[in-house]
A and B are shown apart, each in its own frame.
Chain A
Amino acid sequence: MPNVKIINLSKKFVSSRGEDVLALDRLNLNIPDKKYSTLLGPSGCGKTTLLRIITGLIEPTRGGVMFNKSDVSQKLTQERDIGFVFQHFSIFPHMDVWHNAAYGPLVRGWSREDIAKTVKRNLKLVGLDDRTKALPHELSGGMRQRLGLARALAAKSSLLLLDEPLSALDAKIGAFLRYELRKIVKNNNLTAIHVTHNQEEAMTISDNIILMKKGRIIQTGSPEKLYNAPQSIFAANFIGKCSFFAARKHSSRSVDIDGQILKMPKEIKKDRLVIGIRPEKIHLEPHAGQICLRGRIDLINFLGHLYEYRINVSGNIIKAYKRIKDEKLSRKYKEGDTVDFSFFRR
């Protein structure tokens, strides 16, 4: 039902030193209906501010927020009909599990039967239906965040906002809850906006990533699009691993990397350019006639499921991943060896 539109939104804060800080800079954004969207970016990029403005907990300096073609900028948070999940859970410490989960419907004045039904359903959804009488301090962090989710869902809002919901949890519990979160959102046809600084979390959970930096939107799109076709060095670097090196134009179809000539798939327009390579796209055993670059192996890291090779090409460090099943390969190279490598086509 709701599609969220951000129109020309700016937010200025006054810092403690009295300086103006532009947290959000003229944002325009369309967050699609019934999709799992993620606001991704380093800390201080304005993603939480944006989420809180959508919630109505902060007022924007300029611009507006639309839910489904109606302007909600003047509406109170209470009237926006949203579910919000907090980073530090914010489970009411003086209420038991049932009352926490029932709080939304209770304050909206639902009938007793409706409240009982929705609370039961949502507590079951998050696996807490046998702990209704427990007090928050008796629950583990993961359980508290499940309760936070059940509480946000209980009033049946179709827009779910999540402010770093997994970052206060243990890495393993967080990773597990990630899949449950996505499953619940998808099964209930909800629209989710999830704030995170964790690119792996954003990649695995979302349909749509909104990458932010310094109060601006850098790029939006599906995880695959952002990974495979980043439009900036920042995007390529922030999402997934990527090695960069500088090059000069050699001809319209090739570049010069400190004396080595590398063929390029596209026509080159600029004189100087930066080339980024994903580590898994590097092919360490090129066929004859396919040789592209030569370098020295500086370091071999064993990562369990992978070997990471750090290849030094005239001072530029290029990372390459090799799967562990290539046992021959792992014995074949040593640190200090010179290797030739090519690139897989994407």
Chain B
Amino acid sequence: MNFDEIEKQVAKSLENVIGVKKGNIKLEQRLREDLGVDSFSSLELLFELEDSLGIKIPDAEAKKMATVRDVAAYIHNACAAEKR
């Protein structure tokens, strides 16, 4: 999966979790401050991503993610590491 595809999946999962309209999610947006992702919806987001992408995101890594870009970048790196 390339970065664009991952970005699309992250946006889709966010849409499912917080009900934002399609196309309105930007990479630079902050999860908590801009998108209203609270501690509970962050769990839902993690579940959606793990479920749709078949990956595992450790809680400690998830805690470091502040923006949409952080989420996509982590997944991108994790997928790349898996390939190597």
Does chain A bind chain B?
Answer: no
Give me the interface of A with B, judged by CB distance under 8 Å: none
B residues with a Cβ closer than 8 A to A are: none
